[in-house]
Structures are given as C-alpha cells and as structure tokens.
Copies of this chain bind each other. A is one copy, B any other.
C-alpha cells in the first residue's frame, strides 16, 4: 500500500469496492473480516475500521458484532439521519432533492405511457381496483411500480435514495382530491396519454407540496 499522499482509508474504500466487484459480493453477502482485510491489504486494523465505519455511515455496509460485515442493499437509511441533521438544514438543498426525485418520476411516467407494451400491463388496472376497494394506496407503491416498469435500474436506484433523503413525515391520511389525481394518472397511463399523465402527476405533486407547507 502507498503510504504517501492519498489517505490510507480512502485507498481501502477503493480497494473494498474492487474486492466486492471481483469476488462478486451481492447485497446481503459477507465481506472478509476486519482481521482478514488487515492481512490482505497489509494495513493496521484501525485503518481498516476507519474505512468500514465510513461506508457504514453511508449505509453501504452493515456490521453485526459477532457475525461480520455485510454488504447492504442501498436502501438503508443512516444517511437520512446524518444528512438531515447536517446538510439538509438548508431548504434549498432539500428542495433540490424533491425536484430531482420528481424529475425521475415524471420521466418514468412519460416512458411508460409512451410505450404500448407497457401501458397495457395489467398492473395499472390492479392498482385502480385496489384504490377503489381499499380507498387508498401508498403513493410510494404506485410510483415505485412505474419506475420499475420503466426499466431503468439506475434511475430506480437513484429514486430510492432520493426518496429517503427527502423523506417527510407524510401521514398517509386519505384525501379525496389525491385519489382523484391518482385515478387520472393511472387512467392516462393506461390510455397512453402522456401529457395528461404528466399533468395529473403535477397536480398531485402540487397537492402534496401544499400539504407539506401547511404542516
């Protein structure tokens, strides 16, 4: 290992990334133990731990005493806590998070309702039925479905992250207007009416944004 210039623990972060790649460690999979990493990378344990702790704070790995260190599914949320206390004090920043998330959502809606193949999927009808029966559906569930169907894994992952960052204590209280927009959105997707779908989405988003301000 270089002992110069670049900080060791950053080297190790990089080294770990390569290791994960070359050994094809999947989310949930186990990383080598700290002591093994010490031997393989020829560094001290404290240095290894600094790298691991950093990644843990990012939510990329998870450690369990007595068991080991595991690669997580990025959906983990220490980030939220840390960032919301440090970074997201700035309203401009948090607004960026919301807007960027919405950008991804809108594009997915456009893609889905522009593709005959996708808009014909039975899932939209199912959601409409569920909405009718149960009176409410989690916002997240619908959007997630759209993102998944739009078939861009990268966008989907970014969306997951942004969703967590911008998490608001949104009470799933049922709002009549909200359901109206939801139905409009789903219906427009089914019909392949792109602009109508986006319109419904915007109206819906507006509603939620206002609700947020009131709280």
Name A residues whose Cβ lies closer than 8 Å to a Cβ of B: 9-10, 13-14, 17, 20-21, 46, 49-51, 53-58, 60, 74-75, 77-79, 82-83, 85-91, 93, 96-97, 99-100, 103-104, 106-107, 152-155, 157-158, 161
Contacts and interface: CB of A to CB of B under 8 A. Distances in A.
Given A49-B46, A87-B158, A107-B107, A58 B82 contact: yes
Given A49-B46, A74-B86, A75-B93, A100 B154 contact: yes
B74 A90 contact: yes
Contacts of A87: 60, 74-75, 77, 154, 157-158
A99 B158 CA distance: 13
A204 to B, nearest CB: 17
Nearest to A86: B60
A157 B82 CA distance: 14
Nearest to A84: B158
Contacts of A74: 83, 86-87, 89-90, 93
B58 A83 contact: yes
Nearest to A96: B154
Contacts of A51: 53
A59 to B, nearest CB: 9
Contacts of A49: 46, 50
A9 B53 contact: yes
B154 A93 contact: yes
Contacts of A157: 87, 91
A156 to B, nearest CB: 9
Given A85-B17, A107-B107, A91 B153 contact: yes
Contacts of A86: 17, 55, 58, 60, 74
